[in-house]
Amino acid sequence: MRVAVTGASGFLGGHLSETLVENGHEVVALVRRRSDLSVLSPLGVELRYIDLETGEGISESLRGADAVVHLAAYYTFHGKWELYKKINIDGTKAMVDAARLNGIRHFVYCSTTEVIGPVKDPPADEHTPPTPQYAYGKSKLIAEGIVRDSCSSKGGMAFTILRPSGIYGPRNVDDVSYWTITSFAKNALPTRFIVGSGKNLIQFVHVKDVAQGFLLAIEKPEISSGKTYIISDERAYTYEEVYSILSELCNRKPPKMHVPKWISAALVLPIEAFNRIAGKESFLYHVSTIQSVTQDRAYSIEKAKTELGYLPKYDLRKGLQETVDWYIKNGYI
């Protein structure tokens, strides 16, 4: 199958492109002109240039493809709404329109579990009412609606929406999991104590398992079409469990002191204000992050397992060991 992948030069896109090629598919990599092509070049994929902000190249980029995987997005939790709208919402509509124009048979959209937001009664599943906390999740929820409405309308096409949880793994060098792991390895101040009880739940997923989920959706359109799937690890972990695993892998003492949520927020607030004035971005130093680590984000993957045959190959310890080793080898920690 000939599969066009937006964001193919990115963290997930590179791993997915490798997985597709390994499984006998042709990849058309849709990338920006300034993209790092070091992962894609050895794969022998076809390169086509697009820009979701300007619309450059979108219409003609999908010619000859059978399926589209739309990964490219403006991914940050504290960004500007105009960019969320232009890239995640308007950009998705432009990709769907181009796919229909070019007779694409299957449109696979990468959403996120952040469209669900904090989970009041874990685990959440595909039927849990969405209450996104961040603008990123809100923009992806709107984009999901565009995909469903456009693809379901007259003259539409098959579509699948996948919602990965927090993705981690080798080659991730600018993400929440990256900053969490590397900050923990460097014994950064926010990693020296536990906010709240430490019993709240968080659920990650290794990038190779996410790639597996996309491969299954692509290869089984007769099953996946018109459906939404959560793609994640087999289970959630408490923050205490995550800190314990990271402490062991990074050869440091785990945090023991618990700090109430309100005190943590008071400590972080002036740092957040300074970073905003200085134009710096740090996910760890945000009051909203304090809120997040005292909420649950746990999910059921039963639908993907039952219908697609999805089976995660990485538990958190195995995946983090591989990731930490890669960071050490490449000088990030």
Residue 29 lies in a domain: yes
Residue 302 lies in a domain: yes
Residue 130 lies in a domain: yes
At 18, which CATH number?
3.40.50.720
Residue 150 lies in a domain: yes
109 to each of 161, 162, 170, how far by Cα in Å? 5, 6, 23
Give the number of domains in the chain. Answer: 1
Residue 177 lies in a domain: no
Per-residue confidence at 144, pLDDT binned at 50, 70, 90?
A: very high
Residue 148 lies in a domain: yes
Residue 258 lies in a domain: no
pTM recorded for the entire structure: 0.94
What percent of the chain lies above the pLDDT cut of 70? Answer: 94
Amino acid found at 120: K
- Residue span of the structural domain in which 70 resides: 2-172+203-233+298-313
More confident residue, 126 or 176: 126
Over the stretch 246-280, which tens digit does the pLDDT of each residue have? 999 999 999 989 988 767 767 776 666 666 676 66
Distance CA 330, CA 200 (A): 32
Over the stretch 53-108, which tens digit does the pLDDT of each residue have? 999 999 899 999 999 999 999 988 778 899 999 999 999 999 999 999 999 999 99
Residue 192 lies in a domain: no
Question: pLDDT value at position 270?
Answer: 67
Which residue has tokens 């079409």? 225
Judge contact between 93 and 150, C-beta under 8 A: yes
Helices (H), 2-133: 11-22, 58-61, 81-83, 91-101
